[in-house]
Amino acid sequence: MAKHHENNLTVGIGSALVDILIHEDDGFLEKADVPKGGMIYVESERIEQVLTWTTAKPFIVPGGSACNTIIGIAKLGGPARFVGKLGKDDLGILFETDLKVNSVEPVLFTSSSPTGRVLSIITPDAQRSMLTYLGASAETRPEEVTGKCFDQAAMVHVEGYQLFNRELTLALLKAARQAGASVSLDLASFTVVEASKDILEALVDDYVDILIANEDEARAFTGYSDEDDAMKALSEKADLAVLKLGRRGSLISSEGHIIKVEPDGIGAGDVVDTTGAGDLWASGFLFGLINGYPLEKCGALGSACGYEVCRVVGANIPEQGWERIRKRRWASGDGRAAR
């Protein structure tokens, strides 16, 4: 469980990526040779070339799973810090500036490589087709992640994509534990789980307090397709386990008890893009957890954040959405558990 430091600081560590969003049609996708609804890794020059073909004005915002979660926690009013690596370029400046604007403390290493970026081509059917260049974001070295990164942290949130760099993952988990922080791990993708299966179970057993997975990730990790069996297996791996069920809500397991959390916005017709839904769900859930809310309230706040981000294109909830979330958060008091 979260350790109660006076400032309740949450630190996120992950890929510092800039999202570049453009609206185009299927013909543009064919010209750019991007698989519809898919994601491919490319060099930065490929993204620059495709951008010369669009007449749309790109919408550029910081991205990356852990970054999305940490910004969400800051927007809810929680102290937040992000650790990552970027290039010495304009996109790197934009990334750092936006973190500060959103009240996130940046701890950013730099590289001679360009800042990582994701070009998301959004077609009229709301599908996103992506070209990803990891750039500097993939170059964080284990020796760079020291205890100072997690100074005063009550919780450290790690995105599963870090597991592709095993040496780095072990170093940051050890540093977080030595700093006295609780560790939250979002498994991120079933492909991450499959590629890391030989080390993942031991890492979770040794370092992870809060394990977050969706159905595909849970299936890959536990081997169970049935959600009840998968939830039971997850609960045996971490003190607190979460199984996200998309439109059906989520399950939270703690101390042998399983809590069903209903989705927010059931039946709503205003869902336009699910990008960032899991990341922002984690924002609400972890914010509630670190502030001592009952687990039911943590899950409800997670659902509210996940729903609001689905109402917009991209992973950034507009201020009107945050206002709605805050109203729901305080509707029945601040939700804190009695102490």
- Rounded mean pLDDT, 238-248: 91
Q: Please state which of the ranges 169-173, 249-253, 264-268, 307-311 shows the lowest mean pLDDT.
A: 264-268
Q: Give the model confidence (pLDDT) of 104-146 as tens digits.
A: 999 999 999 999 999 989 888 777 788 989 999 999 999 999 8
pLDDT of residue 339: 28
Is 72 a member of any domain?
Answer: yes
DSSP state of 132: E
Average pLDDT, the chain: 89
Q: How far is CA 229 from the centre of its chain?
A: 25
Do residues 95 and 18 touch, judged by C-beta distance below 8 A?
yes
Predicted TM-score (pTM) of this structure: 0.88
Residue 4 pLDDT level (bands cut at 50, 70, 90) = very low
Q: Is 34 inside any structural domain? A: no
Strand pairing class (128-133; 153-159)? unpaired
Q: Which residue range forms the structural domain that includes residue 243?
A: 9-16+63-114+136-330
Residue range 177-193, pLDDT digits in tens: 999 999 999 998 888 89
Which pLDDT band holds residue 70 (cuts at 50, 70, 90)? Answer: very high
pLDDT of 336 > 60? The answer is: no
Condensed to tens digits (0 to 9), the pLDDT of residues 78-98 reads: 999 999 999 999 999 999 999
The mean pLDDT of 303-317, rounded to a whole number, is 87
In a domain, residue 337? The reply is no
Q: Is the confidence at residue 269, as pLDDT, over 80?
A: no
CA distance 258 to 129: 36
> What is the per-residue pLDDT for 85?
97
CA dist., res. 308 & res. 281, Å (int)? 10
- Amino acid at the residue 121: I
pLDDT at 266 over 70: no
| CA 74 – CA 98 distance, rounded (Å) | 12
What is the CATH classification number for the domain harbouring 312?
Answer: 3.40.1190.20
Q: Is 249 left (phi over 0), alpha (psi -120 to 50) or beta?
A: left
Read off the pLDDT band of 293 (50, 70, 90). very high
Indicate the pLDDT class of residue 7, thresholds 50, 70 and 90. low
**β-pair type (59-63, 17-23):** antiparallel
Distance, CA of 71 to CA of 81 (rounded, Å): 9
The answer to whether position 37 is within a domain reads no
Domain count, the chain: 1
**CB contact set of 238 (below 8 Å; sequence gap of 6+):** 204, 208, 209, 210, 211
